[in-house]
A and B are shown apart, each in its own frame.
Chain A
Amino acid sequence: MKKSGLVGFIVFIFLLSACSQGQSQQSNPNDLSWDEIKQQADGTTVNIHMWGGDEGINQYMDEWVAPRLKEQYNITLERVPMDTQNILQKLQSEKQAGKKDGTIDIVWVNGENFKNAKENGLLYGPFRDQLPNFNDYYDQDSLAFQYDFGTPTEGYEAPWGKVQFVFQYDSNKISNPPKSFDELQSWINENPGKFTYPNPDDFSGNAFLRQLLYATVDDPKEIIEEPFSNEYATKKAEPMWEYLRTIKPDLWRNGEHYPASLTELDRLYSQGDVWMTMGYNEARAEHLIEQGVFPESTRSFVMEPGSLGNTHFLAIPFNSSNKSGAMAAINFLLSPDAQYKKLEPTYWGDNTPISVDKLPEEQQKKFESLDRGETVLSTERLENSFLPEADSGYVEWIKENWKDEIIRNQ
């Protein structure tokens, strides 16, 4: 999910002017058993507010989730298309105005948005550890669930899915995709004009640089484990800038112009101007091929030392009027069935954060034999290359410094 400095700024302004009001939780499901929660949730309506720009995701929620949730929990699910920033904006105002009977029961967040929401007390929790499906099928100790872009989750959000950063190439034009950034550099050198990356102001362009940062330091762990500071980043990033300056003359249009967005890069790829594209979703090529945007010969690859991945979560607003319903719905969304359907390419193709080895054998087989499509790398390959996101401070830092290092320093 995209995050924006704007939200942080708005939240900051509000904090300056806000006379924060104490907010008491009503009907706190914290003290209830799961059975009692299920009972409270029975016959209620749950409003999930989430970004609505992907028809596959929308249909998954409307056509698959909603009817089954009704059937199994007797909960009516209302999906409302709304950008995460706007949701948080609304919650912030409601918090300030002291509105206790909110209309949002579930939000879909991660990264910077989660950090802002949690720090400003916009979320209800902790609730995650009460969910039976989370306790049964997920790895409680996984760092991917304990931290969200460096922010401790502390049970305020439950993992719903995960994505990994992968590259796409046209197998008709390239037989052996590069296995490391060094090989990529040689390939670019041999095929001038056939590679570029989006401007780091773009979400995907920024992720490409973070990925490169991992590759150009001695060990990615240095970046992941060390807290962000300007001095440290400046020291560690020098090889990355060097790499970018080296490939620049051989990039598309000699590196004088960069695509402003991933959509632009995808278009260059689909028109054959460049031979590689990339994106923060390991299954993205499936849809784009189906829609006729990408050639059918498109395949994916990841490179050493690994592929950047992040988890996205579901959370409950502080003023949800139906917290029990929200918990029951989230529990359902975390269930193996729901996760399996989400993983299938039919609707969404989103990877699952579930621990397959914790599932009953039959389910395990189902997951393992699932064909996510030819363009998607194997679960094993993805898992082995998975690298967690570092502190979200790097996102802004890269945005600010890329122009100085690459555009201005010719």
Chain B
Amino acid sequence: MQYKPRMKTASFWFLTGSLFLFPVLFLIVKSFTLPWRYQADFHMHFTLRGWSTLLSENQLISATFISLLIGAVVVLLNLIIGLSAGKALAFYQFKGKSIMDTLFLLPLIFPLLAIAMGVHIAMIRLGLADSWIGVVLIHLVPTIPYSIKILRNGYVSLGSAMLEQSTSLGANVRSRFLTIELPLLKPALRSTIFLTFVISLSQYVITAIIGGGNVVTLAMVYFPFLQSASSTVLAAFSIWFALVPILFYLIVEIILCFLPYQSPWRIKT
């Protein structure tokens, strides 16, 4: 098979356009127009109703902030656990390592609802139910397996020799982490952060059960609307829902710029 660069570019834009750009544009248009009716007429009816309904939802802003806060804490805990567990799994040999490896994936295999129900009673007794801390903890269940997997692979591709080289040059554990591990794990960190945040943001059932309605995240407000027939409001809400991770991503990117040895002005080829 011969690949012509021009063909490649064309197919890239075609796929991006049809799978990403078009749906997004469609959603934006939809949020500003009345539902289109077959056999009615072919004009689009502009309306701000979707957005005004959305913004009049009086829990929208507070729910967005709570979601950002919970997501940020979930991401932070994921990084701490994922980095330490991922490193151990990547570099150390110990008895039962393969069993551990499988155990870490179990939360993805068991139905989340079953886990949440079991955990709920324990959380009530510990006084964690109905609190945002409890919600953060339950959000760790569907996220931790991913972060351990991603960061473990990050460490494997980094290799132990690179870290030993740093140690041999005099770096202690802390400075080695800051100067070598964090910057070189950046792609893995980025995936972990984004993935765990989006997973946390979209948890509805377990948030409802553990948070007991006291912790009103964006998903708690958004999900009931999926049954609503008004596609205009739903489209507006969906865009809002999608903007939250993008906002979080931008914040994270800015923070990542402060990692040591980042030179944004020199483009690597």
Partners in one complex: yes
Interface residue from B57, B124, B208 paired with A97 (Cβ < 8 Å): B124
In chain B, residues 11-55, which have Cβ atoms closer than 8 Å to a Cβ of chain A? 34-35, 37-40, 45, 47, 49, 53
Closest to B130 in A: A103
Inter-subunit contact A291/B229 (CB<8 Å): yes
Please pick, from B37, B124, B214, B226, the residue contacting A93 in the complex, using a CB distance under 8 A. B124
Find out whether the CB atom of A53 lies under 8 angstroms from the CB atom of B214: no
Verify if B191 is at the interface (C-beta below 8 Å from A): no
User: Given A81-B216, A81-B220, A97 and B121 touching (CB < 8 A)?
Assistant: yes
CA distance A256 to B7 in the complex (A): 44
Contact with B along A97-128 (1 / 0, CB 8 A): 10100011000000000000000000000000
Stretch at the interface among A84-92, A206-214, A369-377: A84-92
B215-243 to A contact mask, C-beta < 8 Å, 1/0: 01000110011111110110000000000
Contact B45 A292 (CB under 8 A): yes
Once the chains are docked, how many angstroms separate the CA of A147 from the CA of B136? 41
With A55-B53, A81-B224 as known contacts, state yes or no: A49 contacts B213, CB within 8 Å.
Answer: yes
Query: Quick check: is B205 within 8 A (CB to CB) of the other chain?
Result: yes
Shortest Cβ gap from A278 to chain B (Å): 14
CB–CB A90/B212 < 8 A: yes
Stretch in A136-144, A265-273, A356-364 touching the partner: A265-273
Interface centre among B47, B130, B208 (most CB of A within 10 A): B208
CB neighbours of B34 from chain A (8 A): 291-292
Asked whether, in the complex, the Cβ of A97 is within 8 Å of the Cβ of B125, the reply is yes
Contact A293 B35 (CB under 8 A): yes
Total A-B Cβ pairs within 8 A: 106
Known: A55-B57, A89-B117, A291-B35. A80 touches B229 (CB 8 A): no
Check: A396 CB closer than 8 A to any chain B CB.
no
Residue of A nearest to B58 (CB): A62
Task: Find B233's partner among A55, A79, A80 (CB 8 Å cutoff).
Answer: A55
CB pair B229–A104 under 8 Å, yes or no, is: no
Which residues of chain A are within 8 angstroms of B130 by Cβ–Cβ distance?
103
Chain B residue with the shortest CB-CB distance to A49? B213
Among B56, B117, B212, the residue within 8 A (CB) of A104 is: B212
Residues A53 and B124 in contact, CB atoms below 8 Å apart? no
A89–B37 touching, CB < 8 Å: no
Which residues of A have CB within 8 Å of B47? Answer: 292
The docked-state distance in angstroms from the alpha carbon of A55 to that of B224 is 10
What A residues does B40 contact at CB under 8 A?
295
Query: Of B38, B45, B233, which one neighbours A271 at CB under 8 angstroms?
Result: B38
- A270 and B227 contact, CB distance less than 8 A: no
CB neighbours (8 Å) of A293 from chain B are 35, 37, 229-230
Residues in chain B near residue A103, CB distance under 8 A: 130, 212-214
Contact status of A54 and B228, CB under 8 A, knowing A10-B117, A270-B35, A272-B38: yes
User: Within A252-273, which residues are at the interface with B (CB < 8 Å)?
Assistant: 263, 266, 270-273
By beta carbon, the residue of chain B nearest A292 is B34
- In the complex formed, the residue of A with least CB distance to B233 is A55
A216 contacts the other chain (CB 8 A)? no
Roughly how many angstroms separate A59 CA and B225 CA in the complex, as a whole number? Answer: 14
Choose from B208, B212, B228 the contact partner of A53 (Cβ within 8 Å).
B228
**Proximity bits, A148-177, B CB within 8 Å = 1, else 0:** 000000000000000000000000000000
- From 46 to 94 in chain A, residues with beta carbon under 8 angstroms from any chain B beta carbon are 47, 49, 51-55, 58-59, 62, 79-83, 86-87, 89-90, 93-94
At the interface, yes or no: B209 with Cβ under 8 Å from chain A?
yes
Q: Is B120 an interface residue (CB 8 A)?
A: yes
A96 at the interface (CB under 8 A from B): yes
Q: Does A288 touch B at the CB level, under 8 Å?
A: yes
CA distance A386 to B35 in the complex (A): 33
A266 CA to B39 CA in the complex, in Å? 15
Partner of A291 from the list B38, B212, B220, B230 (CB cut-off 8 Å) is: B230
- Of the candidates A99, A263, A272, A288, which one forms a contact with B39 in the assembled complex, judged by CB atoms under 8 Å apart? A272
Chain A residue nearest to B213 (CB atoms) is A80
For B124, give the chain A residue with the smallest CB separation.
Answer: A97
One of B209, B216, B224, B229 near A263 (C-beta < 8 A)? B229
10 cross-chain pairs, A with B, having the tightest CB-CB distances, nearest first: A53-B224, A271-B38, A292-B34, A80-B213, A97-B124, A52-B224, A86-B208, A93-B120, A272-B39, A291-B230
Q: A55-B53, A96-B121 are in contact. List 20 more A-B contacts (CB 8 A).
A: A10-B117, A47-B214, A52-B220, A53-B228, A54-B228, A55-B225, A55-B228, A81-B213, A81-B221, A81-B224, A82-B220, A83-B208, A86-B208, A90-B209, A93-B121, A99-B129, A273-B38, A291-B49, A292-B37, A295-B40
